[in-house]
Structure 1
């Protein structure tokens, strides 16, 4: 039987490539492949693995006559035409937990950076200016944190904010129960309440037609 063939279209860790090969899968790697090139060669493969650079469009999926699966080494699926893939019976896979803690930590870092004016302080310090009072900022402790999208990443951000900074936690997510938020010490509220009552708002949702321009 001919081995299954996978095309990896973006850079991934070599350990992942080795695991595929050990499973008897023929792996081709082209981390710089263009959309036009991919559309030409996709019919030779049973599966694609992408990150965020490669866009798996309707045209590419329709050209992939052998495609059985599309794997996204990451969380979001906004670079894959999921509807077309489903119509073709192609399985869509992603790794929602792989980077959850890293993204949550970055979110907290950005919150601290903004509230303590770290980028501006760094810039002016390098210019030889000591503007201590001008970049005073404000602390996160006891403030209200509003989270739009209370999935894996949103929950970790909420947990860190609540436990590390004693922040009051508000969450908006139409797909979860109030109990889910209450278990982390917060409240499930409306989007309007989030925007009215929060000192800091963070969004952890996919870019879809329903979420585009949700704020602004």
Structure 2
């Protein structure tokens, strides 16, 4: 009997490439991702490729055939990991498949904000050539940037910012200081104390109890009025209400925000009415190349699990590996 895989996102060429080589696997995409609908069907599947929909304890309790939950990405805040662990089901991620992609997006935000990309484009189309003097752009060379998180993405972002001749600082209490020094950056012990000196702050850490709301009113008020906040991690690490208020009051100069607390974000989000913010549709990790890689890795994790050779480096809850 063929093993069945539920796919909770568009089926990419990378997924098709891996599964297409296997005659013992059949797969199908689910587009109705409510908990009740998944509950009705999850018991018929041996594996699942997860998008961003919640994978809850109720679903996991009904996943009686499930051998693996493979995340199409690296974030897993929508997955109940303790429930998977209790059930003995590994949760896998795609390693570095989109790390470069997200790092590039964070750099794109910084450049676009510093160079006034949106404002210049809009005003030049109106014939306002003097915008270059009325609203001068910034160099990012020699500016100070604080990176919150030195994981797969943070490491690659640091490399790019050092190449841009920025003065790079890193806060990550779970990483050896020597690793940060070796990357050409300066480790920071008290990141809040460093805020008044920073021109940019980039969020590149996971969302958890420790990081949710870590950048709020007090943190932004501690920053320069010319500083920018960039978030390419998860919605809610930067407090959206506090950010909106800070941008309205020009407490900071601007922000680049990719993820939101409620997604898809709707047109009535108060942040969208502001001119000093650049937004994207949680697409920092989504390019043609990264989608192929993420699909390929997510599918390969499933194949490897079925074949009994799952790479533990890709497993979040390693305790289930026995």
**Per the shorter chain, which TM-score range?**
over 0.9
Distance 1:86 1:194 in 2: 38
Distance 2:99 2:11 in 1: 17
Partner of 1:50: 50
2:183 is the alignment partner of 1:184: yes
Aligned to 1:70: 69
In structure 1, how many angstroms separate the alpha carbons of the residues matched to 2:161 and 2:14? 33
Q: C-alpha root-mean-square deviation of aligned residues, in Å?
A: 1.5
The separation in 2 between residues aligned to 1:12 and 1:183, in whole angstroms, is: 39
Which residue in the other structure is 1:142 paired with?
142
**Distance 1:208-1:12 versus aligned 2 partners, 3 A rule:** farther
Q: 1:14-163 maps to which residues of 2 (within 5 A)?
A: 14-23=13-22, 24-52=24-52, 54-130=53-129, 131-163=131-163
Q: CA deviation at 1:32?
A: 4.3
Deviations 1:81-120, CA, capped at 9 Å, x for gaps? 1111111111001113111111111111100111111111
Give the TM-score, by structure 1 length: 0.92
Question: d(CA) in 2 for partners of 1:177 and 1:193?
Answer: 20
Distance 2:185 2:2 in 1: 50
Closer/same/farther in 2, CA of residues 193 and 174 from structure 1, 3 Å limit: same
Q: Secondary structure at the match of 1:133?
A: helix
**Could you tell me whether the CA contact under 8 Å between 2:69 and 2:90 is conserved in 1?**
yes
Q: Contact 1:101–1:156 at 8 Å: present in 2 too?
A: yes
Higher deviation after alignment, 24-33 or 63-72: 24-33
Higher relative contact order (CA 8 A, sep 6+): 2
Q: CA deviation at 1:199?
A: 1.3
- What is the CA-CA distance between 1:126 and the residue it aligns to? 2.5
Deviation of residue 156 (structure 1)? 1.0
Count residues in correspondence.
213
**Any runs of at least 4 consecutive aligned residues in structure 1 with deviations exceeding 6 A, and if so which?**
none
Q: Could you say if the C-alpha distance between residues 17 and 194 of structure 1 is closer, same or farther in structure 2, counting changes exceeding 3 Å? A: farther
Unaligned ranges ≥5, structure 2: 217-322
8 A Cα contact 2:6 2:29, kept in partner:
yes
Q: Is the 8 A contact 1:116 1:135 kept in 2?
A: no
Structure 1: segments with no counterpart, 5+ residues: none
Please, what TM-score do these two structures have when normalized by structure 2? 0.63
Per-residue CA deviations over 1:18-37 (Å, capped at 9, x if unaligned) read 41242321212224443321
Q: Distance in 2 between matches of 1:14 and 1:194?
A: 44
What is the aligned partner in structure 1 of residue 204 from structure 2?
204
